[in-house]
């Protein structure tokens, strides 16, 4: 009778291992491929900004256009922006409500699910007008918020990526 090897069962991959394999390592590989620390910091800052834009479907278009225009890595920017899809969905309704309050200023119906259902059932143009104003206000709020957040990310990540790039550039003495 053959003896079966007795190896302990492998532990399930931890979330930190997944994050490292799927996010951190690909970004570090970009530094090895010639993307400068400043370019990588800009890629991440813009990817975060475009990842939470309050218009569904605009993330890929904005990210791709900006990456091509600024000669950044398209795949890296899309990776960052699409990792933020859950955050985008969480922010969508609050931004639309704030946008409606900002642009309507009490002269129309408040943006609620019940009000939208009623408007779609009885007044398509009223529903479209409410959603248009809410979306426009949400975009305005998003744009105003993303300028300082993007600048903080860019200037905060640049030194970090410079240190990582310098550490990767020095030959490892243990080899």
- Kindly report, residue by residue over 62-105, the tens digit of the pLDDT: 999 999 999 998 888 998 999 999 999 999 989 988 988 888 76
Instruction: Tell me, yes or no, whether 39 lies in a domain.
Output: yes
- Asked if residues 78 and 64 have their Cβ atoms less than 8 Å apart, the reply is yes
Instruction: Tell me, yes or no, whether 155 lies in a domain.
Output: yes
Domain count, the chain: 1
Residue 19 Cα distances to 11, 12, 14, 173, angstroms: 16, 14, 9, 28
Instruction: Tell me, yes or no, whether 6 lies in a domain.
Output: no
| 3-class secondary-structure state, position 113 | helix
Domain that holds residue 39: 17-169
Closest CA to 100 of 121, 129, 123: 129
Cα–Cα distance between 106 and 26 in angstroms, integer?
Answer: 48
Instruction: Tell me, yes or no, whether 9 lies in a domain.
Output: no
Instruction: Tell me, yes or no, whether 128 lies in a domain.
Output: yes
Instruction: Tell me, yes or no, whether 133 lies in a domain.
Output: yes
pLDDT at residue 106, rounded to an integer: 60
Instruction: Tell me, yes or no, whether 1 lies in a domain.
Output: no
Model confidence, pTM: 0.74
Instruction: Tell me, yes or no, whether 51 lies in a domain.
Output: yes
Kindly report, residue by residue over 4-27, the tens digit of the pLDDT.
Answer: 555 555 555 566 687 788 777 776
- Asked if residues 85 and 59 have their Cβ atoms less than 8 Å apart, the reply is yes
Cα–Cα distance between 76 and 151 in angstroms, integer?
Answer: 18
- Asked if residues 162 and 40 have their Cβ atoms less than 8 Å apart, the reply is no
């Amino acid at each position: 009778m053959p003896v079966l090897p007795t190896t302990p069962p492998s532990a399930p991959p931890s979330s930190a291992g997944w994050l490292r394999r799927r996010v951190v390592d690909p970004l570090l590989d970009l530094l090895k491929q010639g993307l400068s620390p400043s370019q990588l910091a800009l890629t991440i800052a813009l990817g975060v900004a475009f990842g939470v834009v309050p218009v569904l479907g605009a993330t890929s278009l904005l990210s791709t256009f900006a990456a091509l225009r600024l000669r950044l890595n398209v795949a890296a920017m899309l990776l960052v922006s699409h990792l933020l899809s859950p955050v985008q969905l969480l922010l969508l309704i609050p931004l639309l409500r704030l946008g409606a309050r900002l642009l309507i200023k009490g002269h129309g119906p408040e943006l609620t699910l019940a009000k939208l259902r009623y408007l779609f059932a009885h007044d398509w143009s009223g529903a479209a007008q409410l959603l248009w104003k809410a979306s426009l206000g949400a975009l305005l709020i998003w744009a105003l918020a993303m300028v300082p957040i993007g600048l903080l990310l860019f200037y905060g990540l640049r030194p970090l990526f410079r240190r990582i790039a310098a550490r990767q550039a020095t030959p490892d003495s243990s080899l």
